[in-house]
Structure 1
Amino acid sequence: MWDSRIKRTILISVLSLFGLVLLIYEYGIIISRDNYAPGTWINGHYFGMKPVKSAEEELYENPADYVLEVKFRDADYQIHGHDIDLNYSFTEDLEKIKNGQVAYLWPESFFVPGYEIEKKITYNEAKLIDLVESFDSMRPENMKEPENPTIELGKDGIVVAVAQDPGSVIEDTDGVIAAIEKSVMNEEPRLDIEEEGFYKISEYTVDSAKVKKCVDYCNTIVGLDVIYQYADTEIALEPFQLYGVIKISDTYDTIISKQRVAEILEGFARLHDTYSSIRKFKNHNHDLVTVTNSDYGWEMDVEKETDSLYSDLIHHRGMRRPPEFIHSGFTYGKNGDDIGGTYAEVDLNAQMMYYYKNYRLVLNTEVVTGNVNLGRSTPPGIYDVDYHQSPATLKGEDYETKVTYWMPFNGGIGFHDATWRGGFGGDIYLYDGSHGCINMPYYMAEELFMEIEDGMPVIVY
């Protein structure tokens, strides 16, 4: 009896369980007809027994929040989602998943891995193109051609290539639009037009082989030691002067321009030549006197020196030598002082002669200069001693005079002894002066002759 009861209870339980399972299964079929099957996961979200619309709402992203920053060389622009009717949609893939599920097989969903889907991105292409073409940076009239580098001499005396304005020319504007469209489709936040390589590049850059060769050549010339010797003073051409003789073409070819060499030397000569210049001279009384008539000083022969220096430069030769001179002085010191401390000074009014050696007064004496009344006044000026001779015969139209010491400095005018004179100084020169020479007492002429040097300056005032 008990066995039959147990069997009946078991049968009822089994039938009840089967009925419950069948009920659940039938419910799953019914619910899965318009909804996702139970156990459905999409993009990490559980959508079992939920309709497609519910999934759309939960996965929705607002396209208006999207902003693409487009960086040009000269400006930055922003493209907002609403500017181009940007739209995001998962509908197609969501419906595809739903349509792929069979209602009576809904239990399979519990054994299917979660689905991963991508949203579909759409935009108004015409609006995007119009917007991009409206950017100032995309307008041809606003684009600037790239500039080639310049070759410049730095303050340190080194020649370098200096990059110039890279310009803003975009040759492939369609390519820019395509790159922006791609960025929108990939939801990228930023696009750099320069990094994408859309800008026109200058024909030459600082890294171009010809530019580097040009720089190397210029530094070779600028680095030469070109030193001119004026007596014991050395004057070097500065880097900017040497750089100035190089002619560089638009294609970075280089030559030494002979015309520029001449121009540099003309400027150098104007700065350092002293010949025929007006001088302020501090005399024996420490008075400042102006001497205008000068046949003394340094004068470069620019034409000849141009040939010499040009030859040195084209052969990349440095040098240390005197330049080609038309006139040479005796000394050359600070600020172009070519009188220095060794010179003879003749004061016509005082009828005195002074000889300084190394800034020390060695001798001074009364003299007789050219006869004023006969129009033979000794001409003022600065001269240099041509030579010194002993003995000598001085000849003129109406005279021939033998002297022991003769030291000419201005053609036929010079220092000499005048043994026929009984006196010197005072106003003798006014009525009984010389033919223009500086007449000196014998022993003073002798001493001067022993001290004097050829080329030494003589100042007459």
Structure 2
Amino acid sequence: MSNENMNQQQNRKSARPRKITYVPIGDEELENTVLPERKKYKGLKITGIAVAMLAVTAGCVYAGISYYYSDRFFEGTTINGVDCSGKTAYEAEQAIAEQVETYSISVSARNLEPQIIQGANIDYKYTSDGEVLKLLKTQKPYEWVKGYTEPVSYTTDIQTTFDHTLLETELRNLSCAKEENQVAPENAYVTFNDSQSVFEIVPETQGSKLVLKKAYQTLSDAVAGSMQSVDFNATADVYASASVKSDSPELLATRDAYNNFAKASITYTFGEQTVTLDGTTIKTWLQFDEKGKLVQDDASFQNHVNEFVAQLAAEHDTVGTSRAFNTTSGRTVYVYGSAYGWQINQAEEAAQLMEEIRSGTQTTREPVYSMRANTYGYNDIGSTYIEVDLSNQHLYYYQDGAIILESDFVSGNMSYADRQTHEGIFRLYSKSSPSVLRGPKLPDGKYEYETPVTFWMPFDGGIGFHDANWRSNFGGDDYLTNGSHGCINMPYDNAAALYSMINYDVPIVCFY
């Protein structure tokens, strides 16, 4: 046997018990020996086991509660005011639906007491759209403790349905929709305040006439939004509104324009006589309805202006009238003036007057004349004029009441109606020196007569003053059978003197 095998056999332990030898131990050795504290270690072990069991139990309970809230809302959860604590999504929706079943809406209208529309009358119902379930899924079940410390309130759009036809019927049954309560609005308007003598604006009125289509849309939107009340008066366009408001620029302009009418004052002068047109009269030309509303009628107002001007002309025009005339011979004759006198230009005066009324002008002036006389009054000839006495065949030139020239003459031949000198009051309208007087044009192109004169002063068409060197006699009765073609034939020297002094505005008074 090799040495290695022998060593392995020696190292093996025998199974038989060996003999035990006891060695005595001294007291000193016994004092230094510490025995293990078995009971202390055992108590700690029991405590640890108990704690572990409690932890496991608590974890199991927490996990169980978390599992419970995996499909239920935490405590302290409200949705749109409904307590959903511990409820499943289905149970929460049922609670919301129960609340919806009691829905009603209060409708307030203008000048009326509020009225209630019950949800049941319009088939108002809750419709699930999954929103509640979505809210539930946002919870983390293991955070269920927060429900006791941090209450949560959700607000979500509740999906509801209702019968639109029934809602329209309910609307039509409200007092605000009844025919007897439909009061139309009234437009603002201009009126005249007599106490203050000014035009002012009467504000518009609201009325209570519903625009049914807009009222229904407003009510429908409120119901769809689950609103508890709706106020028609607070919603634009639910009621018919006035088309003309008190702040309308056009209305303000009208008020201001007519206040100018009231301020206008035009005083006309006719010599020492005056006529005043002011707002008191102008107001009577305007039209107002039974409420006092100004009714604008420009055509009617213009007619009043025209009539006023026509009345001025009727009272003060002297053209086309006869006036008494005291002759140098002492007679009083009546002379018609068709080409002399005062004559208002009615068209131009009416236009100027209208403009002054519109601008509120206050002025004193003469009317616009188309023809003027020398002086105002019944006898508008004045003290400067030429008196042509056709019966006595003598003329007088008066200047400021004094005779500065007089002369015999020969007038139109009385034997021919078409050659007689016309009566009337005239004015010179031209002067020429020399000139040629021509008669009517004959068929052969020549004139009936062509007479050269040195001084020509026409005043009535083809009739005028001129020298007549072919005559040797003037005055007397020559005009009865040997008169002119209508002109006033004068001696050369007198015609020259008249030509040198006559003015265009001097009245020429011809009479028999």
Q: Which has the larger radius of gyration?
A: 2
